[in-house]
Structure 1
Amino acid sequence: MASAPQPQPLPLFYNDLQPLSSQVHADWRVRPTDRAKFLANHHAIPLTVEEFPQAQRFMPIIFSSGPDAVPLALFGLNEGVNVFFDEEGQLTQVIRDEQGTIIESSFYVPAYIRRYPYLLARLQPNSEELSLCFDPTADTIGAFEEGDKLFEGDQPSELTKAILEFNRQFEEAGQRTAQFVKELQDLDLLMEGEVSIQADGASQPFVYRGFSMVNEEKLNQLRGDQLRKIVQSGMLPLIYAHLFSLSQIREVFARQQRMGKIVGPQLVNPA
């Protein structure tokens, strides 16, 4: 039996981590769900750079502040406010039939959300090997009578193999994302962001800060090798996907306003 991961700060959503084991979890199953209650009160979700083209159609893409910036999809402009998922963690951007079953959904759900409750983690700090772990407090995995098996005998089921592959691809995307952000920083293209929104009837505008964004003026000034680098590497369309997505901030603000959840005037740092 594998030893448990060493204590360390847990990522967003995760309350605990336990390695998946054919000995301990031989009879465990995964049951489907149409809700993500763990997501209900979160307003900023990590995003990989490869998701920018899909995500920019629905949500603002920003970067956290500070030297270790990461891309974030904004689900709300204030901490604890999520305009796309309700209190039960059900996606509101869907069409349901009379029984409540989703029959149409065009909303893009970031991979970070779809990955939960699984995670590739090092079981020992000095090890390079990553093991498939999960959050045992999640209500979708356990010793259920119903659901899909995680193991067939002592071998991982096809479902578990698919989960492992998804997590492997997510880790690789995370590495490419970190390199993308590093290149933005090396080119000095990230700056502190600010958005001002004048709401109807408000005496003062709502000013949101505490995030980073690409400096479009500096981007347009790039010449020579620097410009050639971001064009040839495929960075340029991803940068513009981020910049185009910022127009969604006003849509998120409008949704919060309709929900009666405008809190201002400043965005809590989503890092």
Structure 2
Amino acid sequence: MAEQGIYKNPIFLNSVTHKSVKVAPVKDYSFASKLNSVVIVGQEFLEAAKFFPVVFTRAGEDQIVPVAILGLRNEENLFVGKDGKWKEGTYMPAYFRRYPFVLASNVGEDASYAVCVDSNFEGFGKSEGMALFDDDGKQTDEFKRVVQFLQNYQVQHEATKEMVKLLQEYELFKDVSANITLPKGEKIGFGRLLMVDEMGIFNLDDEKIVNLVRTGYLAWIYSHLYSLSNFRSLMAMIK
């Protein structure tokens, strides 16, 4: 799986240094063109499942994260064109929609986050675009909406971690591998993948099944299972 290194030089934003700074909207997604997967949150599963295989992968020894598969080859994102445009009519994961902004932990402050921006983003510091702060040094309404989006994403990220923790507790993950042969004979293999074992769900006691329903996790699980057929869609997109 590709690394999520799209933020080249993130810096903390503040109303003094960046009072007059503007940030233009993202128009070129070439920064994502070599990512064949991206981390997603549970609230995205339903929409993401319409376009991408949604699977789980191990991030370290004891961490499992859900990802959307964007391409079958290394450094290939089938949803970003040569012109840097995202494929029209398809879902764009929130991880990319945040860019060039991101929340970062404040050192020494528990559960505290600060807003950062990738200063390498070509739209940072332009004469036209979204103003971050007004003349009084307060966040503009538009920037407030960006911050709210970042905060909502962080909350959803934590909720997704809770879902993964519960699926581990219920022993519902199983290791899988994907071996794909493309029309021209090229063979591609995926390792370190996990999926939810549907038979494991059937074998749960009623209390655990009710818990999956009430938390909304069961809907996420079936979106994930439904999405696996999208591996065929990705094969069809390869030229």
Q: Do Structure 1 and Structure 2 share a fold, with TM-score over 0.5?
A: yes
Native 8 Å contact 2:73 2:188 kept in 1: no
Of 189, 192, 214 in structure 1, the residue corresponding to residue 196 of structure 2 is 214
Matched, 1:39 2:32: yes
Q: Report matched runs for 1:149-228 at 5 Å.
A: 149-153=131-135, 154-200=137-183, 202=185, 206-228=188-210
For each residue in 1:76-99, what CA deviation from the matched residue of structure 2 results, as whole angstroms up to 9, or x when unmatched?
A: 1232011110244211x32xxxxx
Partner amino acid, structure 1, of 2:53:
P
1:80 aligned partner: 75
SS in 2 for 1:119: strand
Q: Report matched runs for 1:106-121 at 5 Å.
A: 106-121=89-104
Q: Report matched runs for 1:12-91 at 5 Å.
A: 12-65=5-58, 66-91=61-86
When residues 255 and 127 of structure 1 are mapped into structure 2, their CA distance, relative to the original with a 3 A threshold, is: same
Partner amino acid, structure 2, of 1:70:
V
Q: Normalization by structure 2: what TM-score? A: 0.90
By how many angstroms is 1:122 displaced? 2.1
CA distance in 2, matches of 1:27, 1:169: 26
When residues 229 and 49 of structure 1 are mapped into structure 2, their CA distance, relative to the original with a 3 A threshold, is: same
Partner amino acid, structure 1, of 2:191:
R
Question: Which 5+ residue runs of structure 1 have no aligned equivalent?
Answer: 1-9, 95-105, 259-271
RMSD of equivalent CA atoms = 2.0
Partner amino acid, structure 2, of 1:193:
V
Matched, 1:235 2:211: no
Partner amino acid, structure 2, of 1:117:
P
For each residue in 1:17-70, what CA deviation from the matched residue of structure 2 results, as whole angstroms up to 9, or x when unmatched?
A: 211111111111121232212111111111010011111001110111252011
Q: Normalization by structure 1: what TM-score? A: 0.80
Question: Which 5+ residue runs of structure 2 have no aligned equivalent?
Answer: none
SS in 2 for 1:211: strand
SS in 1 for 2:106: coil
CA distance in 1, matches of 2:182, 2:129: 48
Identity %: 27
1:5 aligned partner: none
By how many angstroms is 1:208 displaced? 2.9
By how many angstroms is 1:184 displaced? 0.8
When residues 140 and 27 of structure 1 are mapped into structure 2, their CA distance, relative to the original with a 3 A threshold, is: same
- Structure 1 range deviating more: 193-202 or 220-229: 193-202
SS in 2 for 1:124: coil
For each residue in 1:147-194, what CA deviation from the matched residue of structure 2 results, as whole angstroms up to 9, or x when unmatched?
A: 221111111111211111111101100000000111111111111122
